[in-house]
Chains A and B, each alone.
Chain A
Amino acid sequence: MSKKIFPKNRLLIFGLFLLTLLIMVSLLASYVAPFDPNYVEVENRLNRPGGKNILGTDGYGRDIFSRIVFGARFSLSLAVLVVLINLCIGVFIGTASGFFGGAVDELTMRLVDILLAFPNIIFALLVIGILGPSIPNLVFALVALGWTNYARITRGLVLSLKEQDFIISIKAIGGGDFYIITRHVIPSIIPFLVVLATLNMGHMIMSIAALSFLGLGVQIPTPEWGSMLSEGKQFIFTHPHVIISPGLAIIIAVFAFNLLGDGLRDVLDPRTKEIIKT
């Protein structure tokens, strides 16, 4: 199946390629980076790109390319972590309220309604403002609201699924609720969740970078794209390369996830699937 589908979707391939590249770079950061990302060399500060330092150096003389390479680790792994936690909480709550309905459903959905009334980033600011800036608090702040989206979409999918004949027929055969949920309901909604999570990854990378930029996420001098932007903002007019490179890194990462998400959606959509298969 996959052999037939994938070559038809060039954007998906390109997104996959970009993403693989990013993941490889972040995994092999210590081999890819030519310098120690935290090595300060004051005499070489604010070097222009080219020469010994491919992307130049920042205000402390650190190699920007090396910092971006190591920063990929933080940005990607934090985003993956947040999305996975959101996904697990959201799917658990969404499935429970969609499948069983009743009071549990009413309660959780009203809670979701309330939480969705807060703008994401403002709520995260509030949480970190109270708890203090650190990586665990950053994750918590993004999870506190992030799961609601997954819960709501999962619930919708489960609601429409549980009325279908094949679920009812398994009930008639004697399959219990737990069996039906784990063997039929969740496997059937996984494709949708994969698309949702992939598209959400880009969003999370942006949120993490934004919070780090505001000094509320990953702290200086840890190499992270958002905090690099923050450190470089004073040189924006005199030495723009300091801020352009991490900015581009963020754009490329978000772009890669969005391409992948869109591509996956096309592939997993049953309507396009039928056409491609035949």
Chain B
Amino acid sequence: MLEAVNLSKSFYYGLFQRNKNDAVKNVSFKIKKGETLCLLGESGCGKTTAGMMIAGLIKPTSGMVLYRKENIFKYRPKELKKFRTRLQIIFQDPDTVLNPRWIIEKSLSEPLRIHGLANGKESRDRIMELIETVGLSHEHLNRYPFELSGGQLQRIILARALLLKPDFIVADEPTSSLDVSVQAQILTIFKELQKKFQLSCLFITHDLHVARCIADRIAVMYKGTMLEEGNAEDIFSNPVHPYTRGLLDSLIIPDPEAVHPLDSNIPITSDRNYTGCKYKELCDYREQICEEKEPVLKK
């Protein structure tokens, strides 16, 4: 249904754009209908950039995103507008996603107004239906965003994303700014809705618990590249890459003897322009070849 092919994005900065930062490098994956792929990785590993490219909000330096076998960056404006109804993105911080000067109802009806899909009573009915699906009531509609809590806002944003009846959702850490109890609620609603509307999803997160709860398949990213991809159970039961193993070991379980966190003494470098494997500094299995060649992910 949606496919990323060798997606890369480099940012250029500095005097005369001399410095280059490969935020995402050669990332490929496929997502089938109704499936959830979880993009897992630490801060700054390029997972948000990848998500923005999938949503068509950032142009990749090279590579393409295929939606139903069509490259979304080759769309004509009309097709792009149509695509915007098929794919929705949910952002990390619900406090900033709605216009602070608009009441919730106005923000909610906005997608319908932009696409001229429904107005007046029809629009109101559809909003009401969705707002009840996400567990809120009509009294929330006349409030301003700052009058609602983060959890409530994230439900509103879920409702807004579903208003256009999309079949694909890019969720960029939708729960990471919420506290744990609310996270669970939102994830439960998210899963229910996903089943109900047959949604495919690219779920971006750094949280292993969240990934375990929501993912069908998991792709692990590190410093802009994809290290490992596979079924969620396989990744959790039998991680192949040492980084994935380290990540899983760092899951906090109630046994102090069993914890082997990743070595946190090595700083996350923004310099991605060295040769060889990106993980070599942290890796227990380092060999001579790691210094020379960058490994390629094989299917």
Contact = CB atoms under 8 A, between A and B. Distances in A.
B115 A172 contact: no
B99 interface: yes
Contacts of B101: 187-188
A255 B259 CA distance: 69
A169 interface: yes
A209 B76 CA distance: 56
Nearest to B90: A169
Contacts of B39: none
Interface in B86-112: 88-89, 91, 93, 96-101, 110-111
B81 interface: yes
A175 B57 CA distance: 12
> Which label, helix, strand, loop or mixed, suits the secondary structure of the A interface?
helix
B114 A172 contact: no
Contacts, number: 46
A86 B80 CA distance: 37
A203 B214 CA distance: 61
B290 interface: no
Contact of B97 (A165, A176, A179, A188): A165
B57 A173 contact: no
Contacts of B160: 173
A172 B101 CA distance: 19
A173 B55 contact: no
Contact of B164 (A169, A173, A187, A188): A173
B98 A166 contact: yes
Contacts of B91: 165, 168-169
Given A165-B91, A187-B101, A188-B101, A173 B110 contact: yes
Contact of B84 (A174, A179, A187): A174
B85 interface: yes
A172 B98 contact: no
Contact of A174 (B93, B97, B115, B146): B115
Given A168-B57, A179-B114, A187-B101, A174 B96 contact: no
Interface of A: 164-166, 168-176, 179, 184, 187-188, 274
Interface of B: 55, 57, 80-81, 84-85, 88-89, 91, 93, 96-101, 110-111, 114-115, 146, 160, 164
15 contacts: A164-B96, A165-B96, A165-B97, A166-B97, A166-B99, A172-B55, A172-B88, A173-B164, A174-B81, A174-B84, A174-B85, A175-B110, A176-B81, A184-B99, A188-B99
